[in-house]
Amino acid sequence: MSLSGGSAISQFNPNEPISNTINTVATLAFKNNYMKLYNKEFAEINYGREVTNGIFANGKLLYENRSALFNNTDYSMIKTDDLYFSNDPLQPDNYTSVPFENHHVMKASLGTRIRFGQKYISRPDGKLNIQNDDYPVLSFYYEKAFGASNSNYHYDLISGTVDYNKTIGNKGDFGLRFKAGKFFNAENISFVDYKHFNGNQTHVNMMNNSLNAFNLLPYYSHSTNDAYLETHIEHNFKGYIMNKIPLLNKFQWNLIGGFHQLNIPNMKPYQEFTVGFDNIGFGKFRFLRIDYVRSYQNGYQGDGVMFGLKF
């Protein structure tokens, strides 16, 4: 059980797809202030427990008083003629617009996670769960917004996630994640409550979240208050392929291939294909991953190189 509250500056995407460090560097060096923020005064109570072995449930009640924010500076360490983006993710070139009206809202949510075939170790000081990787992990979530200062901000959201991670003998590690959801009565809800997807426009990934993010997707270009389906697939071949190639096997790099897709109504599917190397470094210090990415949406959109850091 947890209680929390206070005043905070938060990203529109609660998953915080861009870190403070990366945004600071991108902003001061290139005027690329991709992070979009709003202010909230909030109070939250959260309760969760394992109902029975393998099934975890939690509930949350949240109050938020939200207000829009504006940029207060256009300072840059490197002087260029480029302009800062505004703090409105819907109109980045409009410096007087706001993405939502100031308001308050209450939200209640229920969630559950199911791990099939979970084993455990019982100890005098607690229970240690051991996940069975022969089966996927299922998660379900329901959220209802109510009590808002504007009744247009009331909505219902149902979503679910399928996670599957499996080591396939000496052929490497396979990972898959499906995420789907549907909003109801949400035609005019606040942009804060849209479903936002974990994009990236900096070519740097320090979060090690390849099964929960896209590589070249703009942060808020596909945000939706309707239905959505995310697909993330990745296979890390470990040494299965690289160890068979003379000279390259000396590097001890791991070959990785991946596929990412996003489906939302009224838009063609967005897709990314990736190939890269993990475990790059020297000795025991192997903290770098490099991927080449190609993106498609109703045809070829672009490509790029992603640098991943793990510490």
Q: For the segment 52-98, what is each residue's pLDDT rounded down to a tens digit?
A: 999 999 999 999 999 999 999 888 888 778 889 999 999 999 999 99
pLDDT tens per residue, range 228-254:
999 999 999 998 999 999 998 999 999
Residue 156 pLDDT grade (very low, low, confident, very high; cuts 50, 70, 90): very high
Q: Do the Cβ atoms of 33 and 27 come closer than 8 Å?
A: yes
Average model confidence (pLDDT) across the chain: 95
**Whole-model pTM?**
0.93
Q: What is the pLDDT of residue 89?
A: 94
26-39 pLDDT, tens digit each: 999 989 999 999 99
**Long-range contacts from 21-26, C-beta under 8 angstroms, 24+ separation:** 21/206, 22/202, 22/204, 22/206, 26/202
Beta strands in the chain (DSSP E): 2-11, 37-52, 55-68, 103-115, 119-123, 126-130, 137-146, 155-167, 173-184, 204-205, 227-236, 254-263, 270-282, 285-296, 300-309
